[in-house]
Structure 1
């Protein structure tokens, strides 16, 4: 399996998460607090330095109030 960091899918997923966080009116610090993490966790995620695992993705979708299935459909067609 090829590396996934920096791929078009990864970039699209990051952009989607940033868009959803901003639409929810949350700062990185506020989102981190809701996740029980430090702001640097969110910063690394949003800068593409770390992957988002499935459980984290589902938690993010709940906190940011978006449909995880639709979000995955949006990025799934990219390579």
Structure 2
């Protein structure tokens, strides 16, 4: 398994985070304000410069209006190839 921050799987996660925020109709700044963080926090995790821990992801999902479990299921679908997660 690759340990690079910029693996194809990581890029799919980052894309899903951006798409989910966009579908929620929120800007990075909107998310940052609700998280009580600077806008650069959102920019950094969306660009892959920073990784989120599970509790931070929980908070992000809450702001985006999606349950963490639903986000994880969507991520599993995005990462799966022919029904097998890779």
- TM-score of the superposition, structure 1-length normalised? 0.83
The size of the alignment, in residue pairs, is 79
1:21 is matched with which residue?
Answer: 21
Q: Which runs of 5+ in 1 are unaligned?
A: none
4+ runs deviating over 6 angstroms: none
Q: Alignment RMSD, CA only?
A: 1.9
| Counterpart check, 1:6 vs 2:9 | no
Structure number with the bigger relative contact order (C-alpha 8 A, sep ≥ 6) is 1
In structure 2, stretches of 5+ residues that fail to align are none
Structure possessing the higher radius of gyration over alpha carbons: 2
1:41 and 1:52 map into 2 onto residues whose CA distance is 10
Q: Deviations over 1:14-58 (max 9, x none)?
A: 100100111111111110011110001111111111111111111
- Give TM-score, length-normalised by structure 2: 0.77
More strand by proportion, 1 or 2? 2
Question: Is residue 12–residue 79 contact of structure 2 (8 Å, CA) maintained in 1?
Answer: no
